[in-house]
């Protein structure tokens, strides 16, 4: 059987190594992405200084707040970058955000500086960040022994 | 990597301060410095001479801090990690002639001493001669002096650290531009070394987590490793510098290393000092300093 | 731009491998057994009407314990080494300590005790180690490796006595440990290790395993083909998009959206898709052993063939604050402590394997 290595590079970008090995029956493939993966994911929570009725902030308003945070620090151009609210839980205002990894630091900084929504002091708490959405499914630091 | 620290938490009435410490602990800090702010040393100096009534009293560091016993017992250790505090005094120096007040015993009682220069002259003084640990860069207005590399190098050789506060810009969005530009100026000049990023927060909600702060550091132009050092290792170095400062006037100082951050890996278990030789010390030419030391330890 | 961020570095690394279980050189078993400390296991079975009852058995049988305030000197006692380390596989991991700022310790089943210490502790302890390879030179942590299984590591020998002295006199390192023990002899109960600690006056409790199951109805799932991970043919999905989708399932993202025009999120299930009446996912969290994960993998391989499913997935998350990821490769925490892997198992015995690690970790 004639076998030719695939030369096509993956679109994950950055430095990457593609190796192929002809092993017995099947074909072994390995792709290593060390550079920027396409997206970064943040698990965040919006905390208010005083208790706020959870129904006050729904997912639309939450997204608006995130965009407002980015726009006030980096301006119109930056707020055009797609930021997705993948998941939002209204009871504790916890969300998973997805952003292109190039804008990750900027988004994070914008969230850190954000301090006030409709004259109420608030703060974004960034709980977990990762370049793999799967990684946000478990957090071993939350393991309680009780 | 040392523990995460926030070396600037503005002191206030105990109940509020306590809630701030609780938040800090929850966010992952292992140590905070409670900051007592003296607006201007010059006022202090002149007042003490002429009008005794108006004299500003510098409280004892223990009055500034939260009661240690309360800290230990009041379930602040939610994560089981040891949580520590230390005292800090900061002041703005406008008049070089009043700066000697910083060397007075009641000021030197504090664990950390920080100054904020307001002019070229005082910046030079702070970098070159003042016996302090931290030089605060004003982030609330355009810098009235130029940060020069020669002066920065002088200060770095003496082991001083430069402080950037982030919470003034959280309180007031319009101050962001000064915070960012002053911080970037500083980072450019000191090449990212000897920088600490602190909160300077007045309310608990203004505090941010250590990783958030490190990310801000990246925005100020630090590399990732430097940014993380700005909330951890550099803070540890500040504490060591402070320890050294308090010992400089003695000829020999022997004591068990009990830096506030050296802790056992166990849950809050501290090194047992009993059984160790009592703090030994050769004759010290400055008697007040000896008193300081005893009061601190 | 006011704030250039040219320094912003990648957040993580991803390794994708494709191979076949029947391949003699396939390293899937090695991959599982080298990942010593497992926090959570997740599986997804698309098109599965009900969850086969025997699949969770291996994970519910795992006996994990947590032992409080154990000094390290206790672990290098000859009795303990003889009874547990040398007669089975003992996994111990410090709990509640954060790898980026605090001291951590782990005892691997290979008999290597790994200490990841801060500079202060390292200097007080006085044992020789090497600089951890994350962070810059100044901000370093130190890693000490001690082979406690070595036949020369016995009382009376110079090295043993020195290490004992350091751990008892210089710095009494004490940790809360999570631990599991797989005895070499099947007649011995894994709970003996709990007995040992309790007899020596330590509080040692059973660590419960949390289970969660979620059923989906009418879920659109991406179509993938085992021999076409790049999705070039347009009849199947790209493996990277698929991995993101698996993550979306695991984090319970709402997957019902099918169009891109939503204000809040532009995420949709990657195309081409197919609709499945029922899908089952389940999660177990605790401290799980490699052997039980291999059992689950074997069962899943049978199920995917028997029930004629398009594929099944198995994801294993490691502990964020573990000093090692795979084998003795150092693990660190910059702004995340990712070390996890996902198997996608196909009926034809092909598999895809994704391994995700933090940006400062050494690649698998």
Report the pLDDT value the prediction gives residue B43, as an integer from 0 to 100: 58
B47 pLDDT tier (thresholds 50, 70, 90): very low
Q: List C-alpha distances in Å: B194 to B189, B197, C269.
A: 11, 10, 48
Question: Measured between beta carbons, which residues in chain A are less than 8 angstroms from residue B202?
Answer: none
Q: Do B267 and C176 touch (CB under 8 A)?
A: yes
Q: Read off the pLDDT of residues B173-223 as tens digits, 9 standing for 90 and up.
A: 888 888 888 898 888 888 888 899 998 888 888 889 999 998 888 888 888
What's the full length of chain A, in residues?
146
**3-state secondary structure (DSSP) of residue C326:** coil
Q: What's residue B25's pLDDT?
A: 83
Report yes or no: A125 at the B interface, CB cutoff 8 Å: yes
The per-residue pLDDT for range C118-131, each reduced to its tens digit, is 888 888 888 888 88
What confidence tens digit (pLDDT) does each residue in A9-29 have? 333 434 444 555 444 445 778
> Domain residues of chain C, as ranges?
12-61+210-358, 64-207
Chain A environment of B211 (Cβ under 8 Å): 126, 129
Chains with ≥3 Cβ pairs under 8 A against A? B, C
Residue C341, pLDDT above cutoff 60: yes
- Percent of all residues in chain C with a pLDDT value above 90, rounded to a whole number: 15
In chain A, what residues touch B166 (CB-CB under 8 Å)?
112
pLDDT of residue B286: 39
- Across C314-324, average pLDDT: 91
Chain A segment 84-143 residues within 8 A of C by beta carbon are 84-88, 96, 98, 101-102, 104-106, 109, 128-141, 143
pLDDT computed for residue C313 by the predictor: 93
Q: Is A45 inside any structural domain?
A: yes
Q: Which residue has the higher pLDDT, A51 or C106?
A: C106
* CB contact (8 A) between residue C3 and residue B219: yes
Residue B154 scores a pLDDT above 70: yes
Average pLDDT over chain A, rounded to whole?
78
Where along chain B do its domains lie? 5-296
Instruction: Measure in Å the smallest separation between the Cα of B209 and chain A Cα atoms.
Output: 7
Neighbours of chain B (3+ CB pairs under 8 A): A, C
Interface of B with A in 152-171 (CB under 8 A): 166, 169-171
Residue B297 has pLDDT above 50, yes or no: no
Evaluate whether residue A129 is within a structural domain. Answer: yes
Interchain contact B226–C (C-beta under 8 A)? yes
> Smallest Cβ distance to C8: which of A39, A105, A131?
A105
- pLDDT tens, B77-121? 545 567 788 888 888 888 777 777 777 777 778 888 888 888 888
Sign of the dihedral through C-alpha C322, C326, C330, C331: negative
Order of strands, edge to edge, in the sheet holding A27-33?
A: A16-22, A27-33, C12-20, C350-358, C339-345, C312-318, C38-46, C273-288, C210-222
Average the pLDDT over C133-144 and give the result: 70
Across residues C305-314, what is the average pLDDT? Answer: 89
Q: Compare CB distances from A84 to C207, C266, C335 and report the shortest one's residue.
A: C266
Q: Which residues of A touch B219 (CB under 8 A)?
A: 105-106, 109
Report the number of distinct structural domains present in chain A.
1
Chains that touch C (3 or more CB pairs under 8 A): A, B
CA B215 – CA C201 distance, rounded (Å): 45
Given CB atoms, is A18 within the 8 Å cutoff of chain C? no
Range 74-93 of B in CB contact (< 8 A) with A: none
- pLDDT for position B283: 37
Q: Which of residues 245-264 of C touch A (CB under 8 A)?
A: 246-248, 250-254, 263-264
Produce one character per residue of C176-186: b if its CB has 16 or more CB atoms within 10 Å, e if not.
bbbbbbbbeee
Q: Kindly report the nearest CA distance between residue B197 and chain A, in angstroms.
A: 14
Q: Is C115 helix (H, G, I), strand (E, B) or coil?
A: strand
- Report, as an integer, the average pLDDT of C234-243: 86
- Confidence (pLDDT) at C135: 57
The per-residue pLDDT for C318 is 92
Which among C246, C356, C358 is the top mutation candidate for probing chain A, defined by the most A β-carbons within 10 Å of its own β-carbon? Answer: C356
Summarize pLDDT for C61-91 with one digit per residue, the tens: 778 899 988 898 888 888 888 888 888 889 9
What is the spatial distance between Cα B262 and Cα C120, in angstroms, rounded to a whole number?
A: 6
* β C12-20/C210-222 pair status: unpaired
B161-165 vs B134-136, strand pairing mode: parallel
- Provide DSSP, C64-76: EEEEEEEEHHHHT
Please indicate if any CB of chain C lies within 8 Å of the CB of A32: yes
A8 Cα to chain B: minimum distance (Å): 33
Neighbours of B172 (CB within 10 A): 12
The conformation of residue C264, written as its DSSP 8-state character, comes to: S
Domain extent for A72 = 39-133
C348: pLDDT strictly greater than 70? yes
Instruction: Name the closest residue on chain C to residue A97, using Cα atoms.
Output: C265
B5-296: CATH topology is TIM Barrel (3.20.20)
d(CA C288, CA A64): 41
Provide the mean pLDDT of chain B.
74
Residue from C1, C4, C5, C7 whose CB has the most chain B CBs within 10 Å, to mutate: C7
Q: What is the pLDDT of residue A54?
A: 64
Cross-chain residue pair C175–B211, CB shorter than 8 Å: no
Average pLDDT over residues B115-144: 86
Does C298 contact A at CB distance below 8 Å? no
Q: What is the pLDDT of residue C5?
A: 57
The CATH number that applies at residue A121 is 3.30.70.3250
Chain C partners of B259 at a C-beta cutoff of 8 Å?
120
Q: Is residue C246 within 8 Å of residue A134, measured between CB atoms?
A: yes
Tokens for A41? 């994911």
* Measured distance CA(C222)–CA(C276) in Å, rounded: 10
CB nearest to B208's CB, from A121, A123, A129: A123
Across the interface, which of B4, B177, B267 has its CB nearest the CB of C101? B4
Residue A39: pLDDT above 70?
yes
> Euclidean distance between the first and final Cα of chain B, in Å?
25
The predicted pLDDT at position C37 comes to: 92
pLDDT band, very low/low/confident/very high, at A8 (cuts 50, 70, 90): very low
All residues at 6 or more sequence positions from A58 whose CB lies less than 8 Å from its CB, including other chains: A90
């Amino acid at each position: 059987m004639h076998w030719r290595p695939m030369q096509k590079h993956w679109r994950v970008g950055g430095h990457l190594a593609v190796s192929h090995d002809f092993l017995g029956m099947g074909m072994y493939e390995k792709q290593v992405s060390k550079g920027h993966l396409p997206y970064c994911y943040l698990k965040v929570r919006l905390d208010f200084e005083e208790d706020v009725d959870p129904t006050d902030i729904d997912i639309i308003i939450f997204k608006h707040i995130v965009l407002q945070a980015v726009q006030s620090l980096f301006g119109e151009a930056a707020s055009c970058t797609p930021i997705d609210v993948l998941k939002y839980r209204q009871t504790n205002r916890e969300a998973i955000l997805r952003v292109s990894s190039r804008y990750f630091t900027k988004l994070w900084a914008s969230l850190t500086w954000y301090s006030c929504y409709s004259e109420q002091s608030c703060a974004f708490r960034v709980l977990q960040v990762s370049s793999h959405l799967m990684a946000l499914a478990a957090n071993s630091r939350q393991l309680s022994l009780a | 990597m040392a523990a995460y620290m926030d070396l600037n938490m503005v002191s206030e009435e105990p109940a509020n301060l306590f809630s701030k410490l609780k938040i800090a602990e929850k966010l992952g800090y292992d140590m905070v410095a409670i900051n007592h702010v003296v607006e201007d040393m010059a006022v202090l100096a002149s007042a003490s001479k002429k009008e005794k009534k108006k004299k500003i009293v510098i409280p004892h560091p223990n009055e500034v801090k939260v009661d240690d016993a309360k800290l230990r017992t009041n379930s602040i250790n939610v994560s089981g990690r040891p949580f520590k505090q230390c005292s800090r005094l900061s002041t703005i120096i406008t008049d070089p002639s009043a700066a000697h007040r910083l060397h007075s015993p009641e000021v030197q009682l504090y664990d950390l001493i920080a100054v904020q220069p307001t002019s070229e002259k005082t910046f030079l003084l702070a970098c070159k001669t003042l016996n302090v640990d931290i030089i605060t860069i004003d982030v609330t207005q355009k810098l009235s002096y130029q940060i020069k590399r020669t002066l920065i190098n002088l200060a770095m050789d003496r082991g001083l650290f430069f402080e950037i506060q982030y919470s003034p810009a959280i309180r007031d969005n319009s101050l962001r531009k000064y915070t960012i530009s002053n911080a970037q100026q500083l980072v450019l000049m000191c090449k990212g070394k000897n920088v600490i990023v602190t909160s300077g927060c007045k309310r608990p909600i203004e505090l941010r987590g250590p990783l958030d702060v490190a990310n801000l550091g990246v925005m100020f132009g630090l590399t990732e490793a430097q940014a993380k050092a700005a909330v951890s290792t550099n803070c540890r170095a500040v504490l060591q510098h402070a320890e050294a400062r308090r010992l400089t006037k003695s000829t020999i100082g022997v004591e068990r290393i009990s830096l506030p951050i050296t802790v056992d890996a166990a849950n809050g278990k501290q090194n047992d000092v009993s059984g160790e030789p009592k703090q030994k010390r050769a004759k010290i030419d400055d008697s007040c300093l000896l008193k300081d030391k005893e009061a601190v330890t | 731009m006011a704030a250039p961020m040219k320094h912003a570095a990648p957040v993580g690394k991803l390794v994708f491998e494709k191979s076949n279980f029947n391949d003699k050189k396939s390293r899937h078993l090695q991959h599982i057994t080298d990942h010593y400390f497992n926090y959570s296991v997740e599986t997804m079975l698309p098109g599965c009407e009900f969850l086969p009852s025997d699949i969770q058995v291996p994970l519910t049988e795992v006996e994990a314990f947590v032992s409080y305030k154990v000094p390290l000197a206790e672990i290098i006692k000859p009795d303990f080494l003889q009874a547990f380390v040398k007669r089975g596989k003992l996994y111990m991991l410090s709990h509640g300590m954060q790898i980026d700022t605090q001291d951590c310790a782990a005892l691997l089943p290979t008999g290597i005790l790994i200490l990841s210490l801060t500079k202060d502790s390292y200097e007080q302890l006085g044992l020789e180690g090497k600089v951890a390879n994350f962070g810059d030179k100044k901000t370093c942590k130190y890693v000490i490796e001690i082979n406690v299984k070595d036949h020369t590591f016995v009382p009376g020998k110079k090295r043993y006595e020195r290490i004992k002295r350091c751990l008892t006199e210089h710095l009494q390192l004490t940790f809360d440990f999570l631990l599991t023990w797989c005895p070499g002899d099947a007649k011995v109960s894994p709970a003996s290790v709990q007995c040992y600690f309790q007899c020596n006056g330590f509080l040692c409790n059973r660590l419960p395993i949390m289970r969660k199951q979620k059923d989906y109805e009418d879920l659109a799932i991406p179509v993938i083909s085992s021999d076409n991970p790049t999705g070039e043919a347009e009849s199947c999905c790209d493996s990277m998009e698929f991995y993101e989708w698996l993550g979306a399932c695991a984090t319970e993202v709402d997957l019902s959206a099918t169009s891109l025009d939503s204000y809040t999120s532009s995420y949709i299930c990657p195309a081409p898709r197919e609709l499945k009446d029922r899908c089952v996912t389940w999660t177990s969290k605790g401290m799980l052993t490699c052997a039980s994960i291999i059992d689950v993998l074997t069962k899943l391989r049978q199920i995917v063939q028997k029930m004629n499913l398009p594929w099944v997935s198995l994801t294993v998350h490691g502990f964020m604050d573990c000093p090692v990821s795979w084998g003795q490769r150092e693990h660190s925490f910059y702004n995340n402590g990712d070390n996890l892997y996902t198997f996608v198992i196909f009926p034809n015995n092909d598999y895809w394997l994704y391994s995700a690690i933090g940006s400062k970790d050494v690649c698998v």
